[in-house]
Amino acid sequence: MQVLLVQPPIYDFAAYDFWLRPYGMLRVAGRIRHAAELTLFDFLVSQRRDAWGRGRYPAGIIQKPKEFRDIPRNFRRFGRPRVEFQEFLKARSFDAVLIQTMMTYWYPGVREVIEDLRRLQPGAKIILGGIYATLCPEHAAALGADLVVEGNHLEGVWRLLGIEPRNDYPAWMPPVGEVGVLKLTEGCPFHCTYCSAPISSPEFETRAVEDCLEELRRLFRLGARQVAFYDDALLFRAHDILVPFLEGVRREGLAASFHTPNALHARFISAELASLMVQSGFRSFFLGFESGVENWQRSTGGKVSSTEFASAVRSLRAAGAESIAAYILAGHPDSDGQEIEPSMNLAHETGARILLSEFSPVPGTPDAAKSAAWADLPEPLSHNKTAFAFRRLGGGRLARLKDLARELNHR
């Protein structure tokens, strides 16, 4: 069976290759690689990457959807030209196509891919999976796929493909270049009111350490030296999975640079764990902070306190961490009680860089229900983080927050 894997282009105001790879789809592909010939077409191949493997995508300005008339920014299509995919489809024949979906408001790129597949590969079965497919299944189904997979419910995939999946499945690894991605766990024990993790992966589970090490070995053999962890709770129960994994990394001399673009839970960072992570090759630490207001922290999930955050940064700095950043939400529907500017100053005083994370309402979460005044929630385009933060805070205040972040980081 000939199976094509596609990571679609992005339609948005901004996009950047922050170690973005279709890991979920590659894990599914790993379970069928014994019965299928696999091919990846990745629209999102960045250019001019930095020392850690991040970079800009090719992009072009396009007409803004009517939903964004009030947003004074250019709208773009990010990724390889559409004609490249069309020529690729004319030269090959596929029995089935797996499409990775990500942000709900990126669905125009998924629609583009399906349109070209239906026209040029009319016999191929099309399967959508990932975040958009899970959070907006009815909307996704209207794009014309044969199957929309919600969460990790993959039984329909095996039936449609007629393949009995393997259970011992390291992710399928196409040639990856300098960047690879990895997950040691699934799910998250916290239930933050703004996060999709409790919906997409409601149970926290650890993977077998040896399976994770084998994936890293494969990435290493394929040339990856920058490896990003996609875990939602990498540090939870660290002694069950992360610590033995890192002991294996050091024992085998797998000298990769590790990165943590998903927010780490600062409350679990002890001096001992910080030292092990730095000594094992972790180069970037992105910590979830969101707000320094204790009541606000508790009301949105209680994943960290200001005291725990400051302690984590001290431990990381003492261990020699190169880069420590704090995510702080901008544009949350409860922004009035968040005290964004004091929270930014508080994080700065610990020694962390400030990264404003514009809020996007996630369907099915408590905070999405609070967002109706600024978003037409049934339309996924209205979940766009740039548009939502602009509408919630106003252009002037949002610009001042960005200026403050730049000033603090420059200091």
The mean pLDDT value for 244-273 works out to 96
172-193 pLDDT tens trace: 988 888 999 999 999 999 999 9
Is residue 165 predicted with pLDDT exceeding 90? yes
Domains 2-161 and 179-410 alike in fold: no
Dist. CA 411–CA 406, nearest whole Å: 9
The number of beta carbons lying within 10 Å of the beta carbon of residue 1 is 13
3-state SS of 150-205? Answer: CCCCCHHHHHHHCCCCCCCCCCCCCCCCCEEEECCEECCCCCCCCCCHHHHCCCCE
Structure-block tokens of residue 170: 């390291």
Contact 38, 29 (CB under 8 A): yes
**Tokens (6 digits) for 86:** 């069309």
Question: Tell me, what's the pLDDT at 47?
Answer: 86
Q: Residue 175: what pLDDT?
A: 84
CATH level 2 (architecture), domain 2-161: 3-Layer(aba) Sandwich (3.40)
Domain range list for the chain = 2-161, 179-410
Tally the C-alpha atoms within 13 A of residue 247's C-alpha that lie toward its C-beta: 10
Strand residues in 13-89 grouped as ranges (E): 37-42, 59-62, 75-78
Q: Grade residue 257 by pLDDT with cuts at 50, 70 and 90.
A: very high
Q: Where residue 72 falls among pLDDT bands split at 50, 70, 90?
A: very high
Domain 179-410 has CATH 3.40.640.10: no
In whole angstroms, what is the distance from residue 163 CA to residue 182 CA? 25
